[in-house]
Amino acid sequence: MSETIISADLVASQNAARKSDLERDYASLGERLDRRGIAIDAIRDKVEKFA
């Protein structure tokens, strides 16, 4: 079985193309959680510890 390596440049360009959508989605999620009294930063900090 052969493995295909994806170039770092391709990954970076694809990520950059989608960054504004991701930021908008994250902000929207933060607003929805905030209305329920949940801080998105607290969740992010907890999830970050799993990495």
pLDDT in the model for residue 2: 78
The Cα–Cα gap between 12 and 35 comes to 34
**Per-residue pLDDT in tens (0 to 9) along the chain, 51 residues:** 678 999 999 999 999 999 999 999 999 999 999 999 999 999 999 999 987
Q: Taking the CB of residue 13, how many other CB atoms lie within 10 A of it?
A: 10
The Cα–Cα gap between 35 and 9 comes to 39
DSSP structural state of residue 49: T
pLDDT in the model for residue 1: 65
Whether this model's pTM surpasses 0.85: no
Alpha helices of 1-51 — where are they, by DSSP H? 8-35, 40-48
pLDDT in the model for residue 17: 98
